[in-house]
Amino acid sequence: MALEFNRENTSSDRLIGLEEQFCDLLQITLRDAGWHSKKANNEVDLIVQKEETRYAVEMKVVTEPRWSSVEGRLATAFVQSMHAAKKIGQGTHPLAVIGMPLASARMANNVRTFTEKYLPSAGWGLMDLAGRVELHGPGLDWVKSPKGRLVRRKEYLANAAGVAGGVVGQSVGTSWQRFRSSLPASNGASLFTDLGQWMLKVLLSRHLPAPLIQHVKGEFWSSQELAEAARVSAPSAWRHVTALGASGFLEIRSKGYELVRLSELLRLWRGATAMASREWKMRFILPQRDGLRALRAAMRSSASGTDQVARPRACLGLFSAADALGARFVHGGPIHLYSERPSAEECARLGLRLAEPGEAVDVFIREPRFPEALFRAAVRTEDGVLTADVLQTWLDVVDYPARGAEQAEVLWRLIGPALEGASE
């Protein structure tokens, strides 16, 4: 069983597929708790029974956890399950279940308040792709994350048996593990696209000092809010949030989306960006005593010119960026400049030319593989020079062959404690 998030499918087909797969997970969970279930006819999704208690289950799914959507789908599920329960008779109860990629504590409270006010006699459930299975109703015990928030997958699987002391709780860890093992394995390409890396930086930026990375303010409780803040399309944000949640790298906490398991995430991030960028060896047209200072002066002059229309983006990178961010370790290290579209004209503006074979190299110009992740997060120093952000710089130098690991360690001292504290 594999979850499909192919945006080429129609919205209706995608929802039907997700509903079927949430139903499969619900069947596994209830079966392990001693309930018998079977697929029903067109009237309702499932009929489940344990001893004398029977439910007509209608499952509805939303791909974007907005309350207006959840409210409507949950009400529809209740109406359909109530109709089916009356038709089946014999004391059958309605059970309306709503599924979504990630359910925040606020969303769970909204669902609970709605059902208590408008559907007091109905059974209801809330499920998501991060491991939440919450069931309420006569004869049903229920499971929810501690303190109303999502828990890390390892915590959930370890502690699910003890949550609320319910029989459904006793089985949900095993059930969810079985369900999750059937999902397609996450790969670097899905999490670390150009815009995907930019959104990771957006989510991490609030924990880092402003001079080190471009800050995007706000708390994000849905992929739509993340899309608006990061200036990406809603489908791109939805795909990214869903992939992070399904991979166990995203939780919803007191301030919205929060990245977790950062050591593993950064390890994968390093691997996804390890391939070398295209690079050119350059010389200064006029000899310079301090190459980095000369380059920064040329960048300031170029940035303040009047012919800025369609000018390619450029920023300092690697050891040069570390120096600009106040974290220099390697004195006299290679100078690196990222340029969006390197050309002889742009190099000449900076006083550079291609180095001849055998000539010493003054500056390495790199064409970024992920330009949006690089330039959107870049920061401008006090003297007006654009430089790669601290996360990008750490990723670039950590595997650099000549003293990169030492430089990365200095950078990590600036950001490690804050990031490790945020992911606790």
Q: What is the CATH number of the domain that holds 254?
A: 1.10.10.10
In this structure, the answer to whether residues 155 and 36 fall within a common structural domain is: yes
The answer to whether residue 364 is domain-embedded is yes
Per-residue pLDDT reduced to its tens digit, 20-59: 778 888 888 788 778 888 877 677 889 999 888 899 999 9
Per-residue burial over 117-149, b = 16 or more CB atoms within 10 Å of its CB, e = otherwise: eebeebbbbbbbbbbbbbbbbeebbbbbbeebb
The answer to whether residue 86 is domain-embedded is yes
The answer to whether residue 4 is domain-embedded is no
In this structure, the answer to whether residues 259 and 307 fall within a common structural domain is: no
Q: Are strands 379-380 and 363-367 parallel, antiparallel or unpaired?
A: unpaired
304 secondary structure, DSSP code: T
Confidence band for 354, pLDDT divided at 50, 70 and 90? very high
Coil, strand, or helix at residue 120?
A: coil
The answer to whether residue 1 is domain-embedded is no
Copy the structure tokens of residue 27.
């069947």
pLDDT at 329 exceeding the cut of 50: yes
Coil, strand, or helix at residue 376?
A: helix
Euclidean distance between CA atoms 316 and 296, whole angstroms: 8
Query: How many domains are there within the chain?
Result: 3
| Bigger pLDDT: 341 vs 150 | 341
Euclidean distance between CA atoms 104 and 126, whole angstroms: 11
In this structure, the answer to whether residues 172 and 219 fall within a common structural domain is: no
Percent of the chain with pLDDT over 70: 81
Per-residue pLDDT reduced to its tens digit, 108-147: 888 989 988 888 778 899 988 766 788 888 877 654 333 3
Q: Average pLDDT in the 397-408 region? A: 87
Q: Note the pLDDT of residue 155.
A: 37
In this structure, the answer to whether residues 222 and 310 fall within a common structural domain is: no
Boundary (domain end) residue, out of 239, 272, 305: 272
In this structure, the answer to whether residues 95 and 136 fall within a common structural domain is: yes
In this structure, the answer to whether residues 243 and 349 fall within a common structural domain is: no
Q: HSE on the CB side for 154, CA within 13 Å?
A: 3
Copy the structure tokens of residue 256.
């919205």
In this structure, the answer to whether residues 377 and 250 fall within a common structural domain is: no
The answer to whether residue 293 is domain-embedded is yes
Task: For residue 104, give the nearest of 45, 148, 43 by alpha carbon.
Answer: 148
In this structure, the answer to whether residues 54 and 88 fall within a common structural domain is: yes
The answer to whether residue 2 is domain-embedded is no
Boundary (domain end) residue, out of 134, 154, 181: 181
Quickly list H helices, 41-125. 67-88, 105-118
Residue whose structure tokens are 């079966």: 31
Q: Note the pLDDT of residue 137.
A: 85
In this structure, the answer to whether residues 151 and 217 fall within a common structural domain is: no
How would you class 351 by CB atoms within 10 Å of its CB: exposed for 0-12, middle for 13-18, buried for 19 or more? buried
| Bigger pLDDT: 382 vs 174 | 382
CB of 294 within 8 A of CB of 351?
yes
Q: Note the pLDDT of residue 331.
A: 74
Longest dimension (CA), the chain: 92
The answer to whether residue 157 is domain-embedded is yes
In this structure, the answer to whether residues 236 and 322 fall within a common structural domain is: no
In this structure, the answer to whether residues 31 and 154 fall within a common structural domain is: yes
Structural domain including 255 reads 188-272
Residue whose structure tokens are 């959930």: 156
Q: Note the pLDDT of residue 317.
A: 93
The answer to whether residue 306 is domain-embedded is yes
Boundary (domain end) residue, out of 272, 287, 302: 272
In this structure, the answer to whether residues 91 and 139 fall within a common structural domain is: yes
Query: Residue 378 maps to which CATH number?
Result: 3.30.460
